[in-house]
Chains A and B, each alone.
Chain A
Amino acid sequence: MDFTYDDEQQALREAVRGLLATAYADHDARRRTVADEPGFDRALWGRLAEMGVLGLPFAEEHGGVGAGPVEIGIVCQELGRVLAPEPYLASVVHAGGLVAALGSPEQKADLLGRLSAGEVVLAAADTSPGGRWASRADGVRASVSGDTWTLDGVADPVVAGGSADVLVVTAALPDEGGTGVFVVDAADVERTGYAAADLSRAASVRFAGSAATPLGAPGRDLAPSIATISDLTRIMGANQSLGVMQSQVRATTDYLKSRKQFGVTLNTFQALTFRAADMYVSLELAHSMVDWATMTIAGGDREAVAEAADRVGLEVSRAGRHIGQEAIQLHGGIGMTAEYAVGVGTAHLEVLDQWLGNAPHHLSRLAGRVTDHELVEALS
């Protein structure tokens, strides 16, 4: 048992941190980037590709690097730390994850190769308007005629859907055949982009007889695999939240040491330092759970990953609310401003949770299973 990074992992962290620092160390740079389409920095996306970061999860034969969950988690943490708007989770982890899990060898080589090289952006379309976190599609229906598949319906929100070149779509198969996954050229759909609360981009995507290619062999019910990729994305989202929370605790601590009121710095007031201490407690507990969930992926057991996703999802959502709200409160008015990173960070934490799974959702699932076990074991 070991909770520390090895030298290579440490080096990866430094490299990603260094690159992101040149882009977003100054929160103004992020504000300028998200102000215009596509809402992220394509040049930076290219540099992430050159560093091998975009291909990190994928096999070398498909143009990737073949790294493990810990490495991907490190990248997500660093992206979270500076609130980078690049669609790494949506494109690489989620949509890329679906392709890597379900695609034919040719599809993987093509799509993952171009994704790793930074040539295309992928987005997963798996949520229907008003829908919640489900592995069964109900907003989009697939039809087949001969060998030709088409899709009809609406997916919304599709995170990074506006800038994506290729959509990876979950759709209900004909005749109660379950849920399939299809690749759709973004040029064949109607898209309406918008910004979320943290100014990251999503889109409403309308399919109207849009030409679609089944991912892998056609006609299979892929709901279990879709669920697993969502679980993996949830865990990586928790890594990203961890990065955000680390920055917020640090920013709040720095602020309490520098801001003067009543002729003294704020850290003179114990009511405030105790609240900062409680933020640290939430942060460290969440950190432990994030590391554990990330390591659970390496075990490869689907049920264990599902369990870990619920557990880390609940913990990180709770911690995110606590830390995000306190970070704003302890900053006072400045915490409310768009020009300051703390408030946007709080928005980002919410966007991640509401996209990937919020606390009541995970708690409800855990509550449903509560009598299936005696003790919850950290070490199996």
Chain B
Amino acid sequence: MQLELSPADAEFRARMREFFTTKVPQEIRDTVLDGRHLTRDQIVESQRVLNAEGLAVPHWPTEWGGQDWTDLQRHLWHEEMQRAGVPIPLAFNASMIGPVIAQFGTEEQKARFLPDTANLDIWWSQGFSEPDAGSDLASLRTTAVRDGDDWVVNGQKTWTTLGQHGDWIFTLVRTDPEVKKQAGISMLLIDMTTPGVEVRPIELIDGGHEVNEVWFTDVRVPGDLLVGEPGQGWTIAKFLLGNERVGVAPVGATKRALAGLKTVAAAQMEDPMVRARVAELENQLLALELTALRVVAHSAGGEPHPASSVLKLRGTELQQAVSELALDLAGPASLASRADEDSPQEGWARRSAPTYLNFRKASIYGGSNEIQRQIISRTILGL
């Protein structure tokens, strides 16, 4: 056992820190550091800066822009990005569909999609969930029926994050209603400008528009846009969701948010009750960060460390707890959440209630925390 980073890893971390803090536009980083909303253009610009340096998709196979890093290096990359306020590369592209196409796609699909996906020339959306298929994703009903070389898609997806910006959507569709429900699912890539695709906004409790319904009415999808084999969709989805959970504990961003509160609410740091809450959260975040390090230091090459399920569960709980503290520190100022920019209330305080409400999502999506408890109790504890 040894605590220090090796000289090579320390040098790696310094290199990441240097790049992120000097090459990604300050304006974009300030937006993240202040907790304001990024525009589509800012997200795209930032990812392109990273991609030009080979830092947007380091976990992909090297032939498609990956870096062959150790898990620890990936962890350091991810943490330093959050610390510097650099937007994490769009998850739908970098963590979800990219690795899927690299693993299951045809050579033609790889060449056609991977470079554009890495560079965010294509903005992907994730079309998995449906009104009646959430945690029980395999019960999805959107159908794709063969017609000549094409598939004809009908149905409805929901909760499609940032679907209003989406160029393409990767979907799970039912291609065989006769077999066991998992076996009848396939994955299709759909151009969102195809006739019959309609995106409708959903307003969330924070007043924001980040999710959508996506409707498919007789949408014709060319046969070469099927990923893998018909009926392989469930296997592909499990692969994708496994990746989705990696790096899902936003330790760096949560630490930064908590440190920020100590500055913006400096006067309240005299209150022993507040100090105790901050100290408790800092300790819990340290334990979580160390657990993330234990997991990456362990998983070199082999099976993921069993404690990795702890990361999503606890990471989202702490993210939510810090947003609760911000709301409590803001107090009456938090009522001004929909006031104009020239409000006399400070920005962090005005954003505290929407942020608190918005982060309730963290324990629901990406495999809800109940589903994480299920994974721990079944697969780790054998219950």
Whether A and B are associated in the same complex: the answer reads yes
Bitwise interface map of A from 243 to 267 toward B, beta carbon under 8 Å scored 1, else 0: 0000001000100110000000001
Contact residues of A between 265 and 295, Cβ < 8 Å to B: 267, 270, 273-274, 276-278, 280-281, 284-289, 291-292, 294-295
Q: Does A144 contact B (CB under 8 A)?
A: no
Q: Does A114 contact B (CB under 8 A)?
A: no
Q: Does A370 contact B (CB under 8 A)?
A: yes
Chain B residues near A371: list those with CB within 8 A. 262, 266, 269, 275
Main SS class of interface, B: helix
Alpha-carbon distance between A288 and B291 when the two chains are bound, in angstroms: 5
Known: A295-B3, A370-B269. A280 touches B380 (CB 8 A): yes
Q: Does B6 contact A (CB under 8 A)?
A: yes
Alpha-carbon distance between A314 and B285 when the two chains are bound, in angstroms: 13
Give min CB distance, A24 to chain B, whole Å: 24
Cross-chain contact B294 with A291 (CB below 8 angstroms): yes
Cross-chain contact B291 with A284 (CB below 8 angstroms): yes
Known: A3-B1, A277-B377, A371-B262. A286 touches B287 (CB 8 A): yes
Cross-chain contact A277 with B279 (CB below 8 angstroms): no
| Closest A residue by C-beta to B306 | A284
Chain B residues near A288: list those with CB within 8 A. 287, 290-291, 293-294, 307
Give min CB distance, A228 to chain B, whole Å: 18
Cross-chain contact B256 with A375 (CB below 8 angstroms): yes
Cross-chain contact B382 with A253 (CB below 8 angstroms): yes
| Closest A residue by C-beta to B294 | A3
Give min CB distance, B186 to chain A, whole Å: 31
Give min CB distance, B285 to chain A, whole Å: 7
Contact of B276 among A1, A287, A298, A364 (CB under 8 A): A364
Known: A284-B291, A284-B307, A285-B288. A1 touches B283 (CB 8 A): no
Alpha-carbon distance between A257 and B2 when the two chains are bound, in angstroms: 37
Q: Does B72 contact A (CB under 8 A)?
A: yes
Chain A residues near B377: list those with CB within 8 A. 267, 273-274, 276-277, 280
Q: Does A4 contact B (CB under 8 A)?
A: yes
Q: Does B357 contact A (CB under 8 A)?
A: no
Give min CB distance, A377 to chain B, whole Å: 8
Give min CB distance, B303 to chain A, whole Å: 14
Q: Does A151 contact B (CB under 8 A)?
A: no
Alpha-carbon distance between A3 and B300 when the two chains are bound, in angstroms: 12
Known: A285-B314, A288-B294, A374-B262. A1 touches B9 (CB 8 A): yes
Q: Does B59 contact A (CB under 8 A)?
A: no
Chain A residues near B246: list those with CB within 8 A. none
Cross-chain contact B282 with A366 (CB below 8 angstroms): yes
Cross-chain contact B290 with A292 (CB below 8 angstroms): yes
Contact residues of B between 51 and 86, Cβ < 8 Å to A: 72
Q: Does B289 contact A (CB under 8 A)?
A: yes
Chain A residues near B255: list those with CB within 8 A. 375-376
Give min CB distance, B325 to chain A, whole Å: 12
Contact residues of B between 248 and 306, Cβ < 8 Å to A: 255-256, 259, 262, 266, 269, 272, 275-276, 278-280, 282-291, 293-294, 297-298
B contacts with A, residue count (CB < 8 A): 49
Chain B residues near A70: list those with CB within 8 A. 1
Known: A3-B294, A288-B290. A296 touches B282 (CB 8 A): no
Q: Does B383 contact A (CB under 8 A)?
A: yes
Cross-chain contact A315 with B294 (CB below 8 angstroms): no
Contact of B4 among A1, A5, A292 (CB under 8 A): A1
Q: Does A43 contact B (CB under 8 A)?
A: no
Q: Does A147 contact B (CB under 8 A)?
A: no
Give min CB distance, A74 to chain B, whole Å: 10
Alpha-carbon distance between A257 and B290 when the two chains are bound, in angstroms: 31
| Closest B residue by C-beta to A253 | B381
Alpha-carbon distance between A175 and B4 when the two chains are bound, in angstroms: 45
Q: Does A363 contact B (CB under 8 A)?
A: yes
Known: A276-B377, A311-B286, A314-B283. A379 touches B5 (CB 8 A): yes
Q: Does B214 contact A (CB under 8 A)?
A: no
Cross-chain contact B383 with A267 (CB below 8 angstroms): yes
Cross-chain contact B383 with A256 (CB below 8 angstroms): yes
A-B contact pairs, 13 of them (CB 8 A): A2-B297, A287-B291, A289-B287, A294-B1, A298-B3, A363-B276, A363-B279, A368-B275, A370-B269, A371-B266, A374-B262, A375-B259, A379-B4
> What 6 additional pairs, Cβ within 8 angstroms, besides A3-B297, A4-B1, A380-B4?
A280-B380, A288-B290, A311-B286, A315-B283, A366-B282, A370-B269
Chain A to chain B: the 8 pairs with minimum beta-carbon distance, closest first: A288-B290, A273-B377, A366-B279, A367-B275, A277-B376, A277-B373, A285-B287, A267-B383
